[in-house]
Structure 1
Amino acid sequence: MTKLTANVPVIEPPAWALSQRALLDLLDGGWRLFSDRYTRPDGSLRYSGRLSTRDGADDFFEPFFNWPQLYLLGGADDLLPACARHWHGVAGQMTALGMFADEFEIGYDWFHQGESLLFSYFLTAADPAAWTERAARFADLYLDPAKGNYDPGHRIIKAPHNGSGGAREGVSDTPSYPWTEAEAAQYGHPLDWLDPDSGPPGEDPRLGTEMQRRLGRGDAVGNLSVAGLVGNAYLATGDEKYAAWLREYVGAWQRRAEENGGVVPDNVGPDGVVGSLLDGRWYGGHYGWTWPHGLYSLGQASAVGALSTALVTGDDHYLDLVRTLLDEVIARGVKLPFSQSDSANQGRWRAHLGPDVDTPTLLVPYRHSDKGWFDYNPVQTSVPLALWHHTGAPEDRARLDALRAATGYDWATVRPFRDKEEAGHEEPWYAYLCGDNPAYPERILAAAHAQARRRIALLRANAGRDLPEEAIHLWQNVNPVVTEALTQTMWGGPQVVYNGGLQQARVRYFDAERRRPGVPDQVAALVSAIEPEATVVTLVNLSATEDRTLIVQAGAFGEHEIRTAAADRAEEGWTGHDTEYIHHEPVLSRQEIEVGGPHLTVELPAGTSITLTLRLRLHAYRPSYRAPWERSS
């Protein structure tokens, strides 16, 4: 493996490096506190109630979803076994509550399953030897038609609710859908095209029956998030059967989108025909265009499906599924203050926009029904940014630049909010990558400190509560592990697409001495550019007494090639003579070497730093969870 040795002295440690290491320490204390106050010795959550609907299993896994991600970044050694203990404890808890069989959800939608499975995807990446069998077994629930989920003839998953019990018909286990008055007021009612009976729609005795019949069978666009599960199995095993299934299943959805003018439909009947259960409508399916979240949920599902398939197969044409979807809704956008919109998701976007809620900006329709397009919100930037991050293509960057130009607010602004996706700061990060927001690393790390400290305070204040079923979201709301800032600054990657995506990164790191993922102790990392021709990474060894060695990997899964690496070299003599009162400014020269592989070893002697300019060839190798020393053996 090609090697570079740093020798530029760390005279005044960069503020971002000190903040990054302090954040890692803060999060280490946070997860330990959560584990102590909210979980039992077997790793399960302290909860004495029951679960009365099909919903809820995801809420038990989501508080831990990014803990193994923190380990991959460089979290404590004992975080990995703690994560495994919590996963097994919660899986056993869900089995006891009747939600799981064979360690997997019996049958529920993939808007929720995708969220909860991020925990196991990161665990598989962190410790593939321990989790590969499970990753393959879970994916085979969908590859093997005998498991009851997949119909290879029509290339559909046979119900919106599915899992270890096969296709699970219906959308609930009650005669009517469990829809509160508040939810109905926020989102409206599904199947709103049915001729109403007398009285309010929520009291229509047919609504529950018709929902079960029309929405509880056939494929739904949310099932595209299954691609993350299958992609995870491929990364762990390298078995081409997973790539073949993704080509088949995601390719079928792409053809349906092409036949619908570029907008992916949200439902396919058991006969394989779009709209056959909805009187020909391409919209109105479960977690689809009409109800309840529209583009918010199906945009992420489409991104998970397309990006996972492109990663595994090396064929980027699957990304057209997301490109055409984005372009079609953006073309229908209007410029209007968000405060005047008909948005059904006011809380999320008001936190995101802050005082800019009254500033005219681009709003696009998130939902569609018989009355046309409605529910206008800003574009969720995470989707087009994930697309550009994968391809580096000019057309995908141009889409981001056009979105930025069309918004009425400053993309460089960093607000210390949290959203459900543990993300939301893609816009100021993109401005930083464009060279327009130089203070971003310090600002986003400061915002992460604020988020973590707030959650730790809430965690302490709410510890010891015996939660009722309706309050179980508390766990994820007080999860003290905040990773978006670390993912962006250290890996040069966006936070994972929350509804079941696979991690993206320009670079990742491995501790060469301890042979584990993540940066070594007292090492900080900053990615300041992610263009293929100039991916810039700065590594700092803050220890003035201990040497460190790490391996830089190109891509989250070693899928990129480092063609060349250039770095500054310092001439000797910066300390000056011991009789002098000051140090000398280092005199730097430039060194460039050929690499020709996915890995580069970097030696960081005590108190040194190195800034690497890496010229990459994207997607040059088969992606894999294998560690660098396993690839070279």
Structure 2
Amino acid sequence: MSTSNPEHAIPRIAAKRQVVPPQWALTERLLIDQLNKAAFEFVERYTRPDGTLIWREDWPGMDGSDDPYEGFMNLALLYMIGGSSELHGLARKIWEGITWQWTEYGQIHREFDAYYDWMHHGEGYLFTYFLGLAGPVTLKDRQRAVRFAGMYTGEDTEALNYDAERKLIRSAISGSMGPRFVLTEEDWSTHRGILDDYLAPYEDIPGVDFASGKCAWSNNEVYANIIRMMNERMTRGDVPLNLNATGLVTHAFLHTQEEKYRKWVLDYLAAWQERTRQNGGIIPDNVGLSGEIGEYNDGKWWGGYYGWRWPHGFMTIIEPLTNACMNSVLLTGDMKMLDLARQQLDENWALREEQDGEVRVPYKHFDAGWTDYRKAAPQYPVYLWTMSMADEDLERIDRIPKDHDWNQVIVPKLSGTDKKTKRNTKHYIGNTQPWFQFIRGLNPDYPQTILDANVELVTQQLTKMRSEAGDPYNWANQFSDDDFSSIHIWQEMCPIYMESLVQLTLGGPMHISHGGLQHARVRYYDADAKRPGLPESIAALVKDLTAQSVTLELVNTSQFDNRSVIIQAGTFGEHQFKEVYFLESVNANMEMTAVNHKWLQVDLPAGTGASLLLTMNRYVNAPSYDMPWADREKGVLLEGRKQ
């Protein structure tokens, strides 16, 4: 992979065609404006001037810090897309505030979760990844990225989470205090009421009827047995969920370009590939400290933490695997790195059955065999296809029966007054399928439809946030001391949702919510303000993707202001533009300009627009958080005392 020098002159073209702004462009700019205002109102309502959150005085257990990070992480993502310049500093202040506050609660140590699993680490550290995109990179960003990665590469002697010889993460519960081999009843105290309605983690817990599909965590005797059995069977050794740690180590590479981080990601993925081979093609969900599959589980390859049996099954197998495979492609450009995720999708599909007239695939494996058959989820092969653009991945999508209109846009709706109905915006990523249809040319109305739906969602969230139920000073009355589900409240009240903007402007689906980097085909910088994001009054729409090109429409909606935008090839500059064509040319020979750079500046005088076809070589540049302007402190790191 090559690198591009920011000092090298960035190619430049200018739009000449006067346009009446199309409705999608006006709605896109309206949405950005509404999101800006909503962000400031959200921050004003739920945070103190020092960036801490208005909330309870204590928080027990090991769970928790991921949820406030998730509630506010979109401040950084909105800024990266083109939100208000004030969001940059605000996002950083709130990250610092949350980190300090949850350190005081006891969950965070050395600015990183003391110990928890990589579903929740994956969710919370999205905020850190988004701050990397919300440049310019700060010394703190770079220092933290290296320090956090060191907790999983074996370099941090206070957090020996990784066995470099066996290439395994030593526990399903890990963090800045190292692997957590022994869990306490206090560690899980915040989950007891919630998990009463979940499947039991084991089939032989005394006093629990596994077939009932429920497990009484609130029962003290049952609870003591669960913790004992977890410590015997689940806390030692590696699990597929830990593949989400590849995002943290890739994040360090994006800051530093150090080869050791690339090597760690590739080695760790290869270790899981070998375990899968040893297991006959199905990825095992528990590997002991010796590297033996099923070492603490009577030799069973199923039954590990967040594995094939408990609690979610296939979802928490395929998501971290997809994340790790995509991170490996980003770091190498080699599409074969997707093969382990592809293989698991194929193995799962091969187990399909027809039930009640529908094709379903198993999500879980019990001692009696495969079970919990559900409809196949198309979003995972969509992620792979968006990266590979390969026919084989397209076939993995097309084989899934369309049991509903894939063009339909989904907006989460509130219904009733029960607290559970208020939780339908947590992890809101709802329209991967209709975007996929659009980018294939099968859903032409999608841009306007999804933008309208996004405006509706913001309006709905503002209404909820402004209600009495949204007043943080009323939460003491709404939630009892043991109602720990209140930890999700910021996500439920957050109005900063922008799935439409990510899809339409960047040309990619939203990140996987449990730890995925925001992969996409392009991103933007304001050439005059020298900051990330679309310049004010500029609207962008990615209309088509191929393996060799991206088709993009840019519109300056202002009749009074000239703007200049820099387009970057790939979220992380991993691609290289070759040529750019103006598609609006009326003659037979489209106007072409050579680019041969990962950046292209487009000048858009007032009231102009341009439809551009950009040819490209994909995954040929070393990915990074570099902006188009030189960073004098790139690579600078502080060193502590050696004794």
Could you tell me the TM-score, scaled by structure 2's length?
A: 0.88
The code of the aligned residue for 2:537 comes to Q
After TM superposition, the structure 1 = structure 2 runs for residues 168-179 of structure 1, keeping only pairs within 5 Å, are 168-174=180-186
Q: What are the residue-to-residue correspondences of 1:555-570 with 2, within 5 Å?
A: 555-568=570-583
Note closer, same or farther for the CA distance 1:172–1:110 as it changes in structure 2 (3 Å cut).
Answer: farther
Aligned to 1:26: 34
Aligned amino acid, residue 457 of structure 1: T
Compared with structure 1, are the counterparts of its residues 251 and 172 closer, same or farther at alpha carbon in structure 2 (3 Å cutoff)? farther
Partner of 1:188: 199
Asked whether the equivalents of residues 60 and 190 of structure 2 are also in contact (C-alpha less than 8 Å), the reply is no
The secondary structure found in structure 1 opposite 2:382 is helix
- 1:350 alignment counterpart: none
Cα separation, 1, equivalents of 2:108 and 2:368: 39
Which of 92, 95, 98 is the aligned partner of 1:90?
98
Deviations 1:557-578 (A, max 9, x none): 111111211114568xxxxxxx
Could you say if the C-alpha distance between residues 526 and 300 of structure 1 is closer, same or farther in structure 2, counting changes exceeding 3 Å? same
Distance 1:47 1:325, change over 3 A: same
Q: 2:61 touches 2:189 (CA, 8 Å); kept in 1? A: no
The verdict on how the C-alpha distance between 1:496 and 1:139 changes in structure 2, with shifts beyond 3 A counting, is: same
8 Å contact from structure 2 (residues 161, 174) kept in 1 = yes
> Which aligned pairs between 1:132-531 and structure 2 lie closer than 5 A?
132-145=142-155, 146=157, 147-174=159-186, 180=192, 183-185=195-197, 187-192=198-203, 194=204, 196=206, 202=216, 203-204=221-222, 206-336=225-355, 361-403=358-400, 406-417=401-412, 419-461=425-467, 462-463=470-471, 464-467=473-476, 468=479, 469-531=484-546
Q: 1:59 to 1:176 in 2, by over 3 A?
A: closer
Q: How far off is 1:144 after superposition?
A: 2.3
- Which string of whole-angstrom CA distances, capped at 9 and with x for unpartnered residues, describes residues 111-145 of structure 1? 10100000011102212234111111111111125
Q: 1:18 to 1:269 in 2, by over 3 A?
A: same
Matched, 1:105 2:113: yes
1:507 and 1:320 mapped to 2: Cα distance?
25
Identify which range, 471-480 or 312-321, moves more after superposition. 312-321
Distance across 1 between alignment mates of 2:448 and 2:57: 43
Counterpart position of 1:575: none
1:336-392 Cα offsets, whole Å, 9 max, x none, are 56xxxxxxxxxxxxxxxxxxxxxx554322111112222233333332111111111
Q: Distance in 2 between matches of 1:601 and 1:447?
A: 31
Equivalent AA in structure 2 for residue 367 of structure 1: K
Q: Distance in 2 between matches of 1:42 and 1:182?
A: 32
Shift of 1:49: 3.3
Query: What's the offset of the Cα at 1:195?
Result: 7.4
Separation in 1, partners of 2:226, 2:56: 33
1:563 to 1:454, Cα distance in 2 relative to 1, 3 A: same
Q: Indicate the residue corresponding to 1:581 in structure 2.
A: none
Q: From the superposition, tell whether residues 394 and 93 of structure 1 become closer, same or farther in structure 2 (CA, over 3 Å).
A: same
CA distance in 1 between partners of 2:77 and 2:387 (Å): 19
RMSD after superposition: 2.2
Question: Using the alignment, how far apart are the partners of 2:585 and 2:550 within structure 1?
Answer: 21
Q: Which whole-Å CA distance do the structure 1 matches of 2:631 and 2:569 have between them?
A: 13
The residue number in structure 2 matching 1:577 is none
* Count of residues paired in the alignment: 591
Distance, in Å, in 2 between the alignment partners of 1:85 and 1:40 is: 11
CA contact (8 A) 2:167 2:271 kept: yes
Following superposition, the deviation at residue 588 of structure 1 comes to: 9.8
Letter in 2 for 1:109: D
State the Cα deviation string for residues 563-603 of structure 1 (Å, max 9, x = none). 211114568xxxxxxxxxxxxxxx99731222222111101
Is the 2:585–2:591 Cα contact (8 Å) retained in structure 1? no
Cα displacement string for residues 377-428 of structure 1 (whole angstroms, at most 9, x for unaligned residues)? 333333211111111122112211222xx22211111121265333121111
Give the aligned partner of residue 625 of structure 1.
Answer: 625
**Aligned to 1:74, which of 65, 70, 82?**
82
| Structure 2 Cα separation of the partners of residues 72 and 454 of structure 1 | 24
Q: Shift of the alpha carbon at 1:310? A: 2.1
Q: Which AA in structure 2 matches 1:410? A: D
Which residue number in structure 2 is paired with residue 579 of structure 1?
A: none
How far apart, CA to CA, are the structure 2 residues paired with 1:248 and 1:591?
A: 46
Counterpart CA distance in 1 for 2:626 and 2:331 is 15
1:396 & 1:25 partners in 2: Cα distance? 37
What code does the residue aligned with 1:32 have? F
Q: Is the Cα–Cα contact under 8 Å of residues 425 and 491 in structure 2 kept in the other structure?
A: no
In structure 1, what is the Cα distance between the partners aligned to 2:332 and 2:57? 44
Classify the secondary structure of the residue corresponding to 1:565. strand
Structure 1 residue identity aligned to 2:144: R
Following superposition, the deviation at residue 42 of structure 1 comes to: 1.1
Q: Which amino acid aligns with 1:443?
A: T
* Cα offsets for 1:307-333 (capped at 9, x unmatched): 112211333322111101111112222
Structure 1 CA distance for aligned equivalents of residues 208 and 309 of structure 2: 23
Structure 1 position 178, deviation (Å): 7.0
Q: CA deviation at 1:456?
A: 1.0
How far apart, in 2, do the equivalents of 1:99 and 1:609 lie?
Answer: 50
Q: Partners in 1 of 2:343 and 2:235 — Cα distance?
A: 28
User: Which residue of structure 1 aligns with residue 16 of structure 2?
Assistant: 7
For the residues of structure 2 that align with 1:199 and 1:232, how far apart are their CA atoms?
A: 44
- Per the normalisation by structure 1, the TM-score is 0.89
Change (3 A) 1:530 1:154: same
Following superposition, the deviation at residue 180 of structure 1 comes to 4.3
Distance change in 2, residues 1:542/1:515 (3 Å): same
Secondary structure (helix, strand or coil) at the match of 1:590 reads: coil
Letter in structure 1 aligned against 2:247? G
CA distance in 2 between partners of 1:103 and 1:180 (Å): 27
Specify the alignment match of 1:607 in structure 2.
607
The one-letter code of the counterpart of 1:232 is H
Distance 1:299 1:458 in 2: 33
CA 1:376 to 1:449, structure 2 compared with 1: closer, same or farther past 3 Å?
farther
Query: CA shift at 1:168, angstroms?
Result: 1.2
What is the rounded CA distance, in whole Å, between the counterparts of 2:496 and 2:369 in structure 1? 41
1:60 aligns with 68
Counterpart CA distance in 2 for 1:363 and 1:15 is 40
Contact (CA 8 Å) 1:7, 1:569: kept in 2 or not?
no
Q: What is aligned with 1:598?
A: 598
Q: Describe the superposition over 1:66-112 as per-residue Cα deviations: whole angstroms up to 9, x where unpaired.
A: 22111110010000000001000000001100111110000000110
SS at match of 1:472: helix
Distance 1:173-1:151 versus aligned 2 partners, 3 A rule: farther
Rate the CA distance shift 1:176–1:459 in 2: closer, same or farther, 3 A: closer
Aligned residue identity for 1:214: R
Q: Structure 1 vs Structure 2: percent identity of aligned residues?
A: 37
In structure 2, distance between residues paired with 1:208 and 1:125:
40
How far apart are residue 617 of structure 1 and its match? 1.3
1: CA distance, partners of 2:187 / 2:124: 27
CA distance in 2 between counterparts of 1:98 and 1:382 reads 36
Q: Against the structure 1 CA distance between its residues 401 and 470, is the aligned structure 2 distance closer, same or farther, given a 3 Å change threshold? A: closer
Letter in 1 for 2:591: Q
- 1:625 Cα deviation from its structure 2 partner: 0.6
Cα deviation for residue 35 of structure 1 reads: 0.5
Question: For the Cα contact (< 8 Å) 1:382–1:424, is it kept in 2?
Answer: no
- Unaligned runs of 5+ residues in structure 2 are 1-9, 413-423, 635-643
The match for 1:126 among 134, 157, 160 is 134
Distance in structure 2 (CA, Å) of the matches to 1:387 and 1:483: 22
Distance 1:6 1:108 in 2: 51
Cα deviation code 1:26-79 (max 9, x no counterpart): 111111111101111111111123222211111121101222111110010000
